[in-house]
């Protein structure tokens, strides 16, 4: 299985840290956020990784090169000066990702999730890893029942947050055209068709959305 790391965003909420450095190259315990992902993907047996680039993308390319230092083969999908959002960014990278299901990981999260265990059932278009809602996102994104992701918004419905980790079939993007567009409408389309699977992960996961959260993560990870 191939993997894609989403690394093209501007990181507005992380300013001023991201004014001169792309968000995935911000460090935790001396290691870039994106390097934590690359090491975890290599441990999971994944060898081919695609990274999309936009804001300060040349720094990411210069830092990671061809991926040999991680035991990986890294290819790049250059989106130009303005990122195409999650949906548009993945869509234009499909030619690099091949015809089989592929793993997608947001470059601005930190997690101990074991990528070797993720699976996509036959008959489903995608599979999301959901997590308990963090303090900054108490309402969550989706519901989860019997391995299927839903969008129940009724009072009392237990909702969870999309972790930024998922598996997608290329067919998930059927009907899309190149351009800038979000992922959410496609996820809702798959939910309506009953073709979106999911799991709940309750291990270590952080959305590194602000300098304060980055500092908190830095303080929380034990020194080795």
Distance CA 112, CA 109 (A): 10
> Domain range for residue 28?
3-220
What is the CATH number for 34? 3.90.550.10
Going by their DSSP bridges, the two strands 31-32 and 27-28 should be labelled as antiparallel
Instruction: Decide if pLDDT at 80 tops 60.
Output: yes
At residue 11, the pLDDT reads: 67
In the predicted model, what is the mean pLDDT of the chain? Answer: 92
Total domains present in the chain: 1
How confident is the model over 62-78, as a mean pLDDT?
Answer: 96
In whole angstroms, give the CA distance from residue 112 to residue 94. 27
In the chain, beta strands by DSSP E: 3-6, 27-28, 31-32, 48-53, 73-78, 102-106, 109-111, 126-131, 142-145, 148-150, 159-168, 196-200, 205-207
Which is nearest to 195 in space by CA: 120, 141, 126? 126
Q: What is the SS3 assignment for 152? A: coil
Structure tokens at 189: 């389309």
- Contact assessment for residue 149 and residue 186, using Cβ atoms and an 8 Å cutoff: no
93 vs 135, which has greater pLDDT?
Answer: 93
């Amino acid at each position: 299985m191939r993997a894609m790391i989403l690394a093209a965003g501007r990181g507005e909420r992380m300013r001023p840290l991201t004014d001169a450095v792309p968000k995935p190259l911000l460090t935790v315990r001396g290691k870039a956020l994106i390097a934590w992902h690359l090491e975890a993907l290599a441990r999971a047996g994944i060898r081919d990784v695609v990274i999309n680039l936009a804001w300060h993308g040349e720094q990411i390319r210069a830092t990671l090169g061809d991926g040999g230092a991680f035991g990986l083969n890294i290819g790049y999908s250059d989106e130009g000066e303005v990122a195409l959002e999650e949906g548009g960014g993945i869509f234009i990278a499909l030619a690099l990702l091949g015809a089989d299901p592929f793993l997608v990981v947001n470059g601005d999260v930190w997690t101990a999730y074991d990528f070797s265990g993720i699976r996509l059932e036959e008959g489903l278009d995608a599979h999301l890893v959901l997590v308990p809602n963090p303090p900054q996102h108490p309402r969550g994104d989706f519901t989860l029942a019997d391995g299927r992701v839903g969008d129940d918004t009724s009072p009392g419905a237990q909702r969870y947050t999309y972790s930024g980790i998922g598996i997608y079939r290329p067919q998930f993007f059927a009907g899309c055209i190149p351009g800038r567009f979000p992922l959410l409408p496609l996820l809702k389309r798959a939910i309506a068709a009953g073709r979106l699977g999911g799991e709940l992960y309750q291990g270590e996961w952080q959305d590194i959305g602000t300098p304060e959260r980055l500092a908190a993560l830095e303080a929380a990870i034990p020194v080795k």
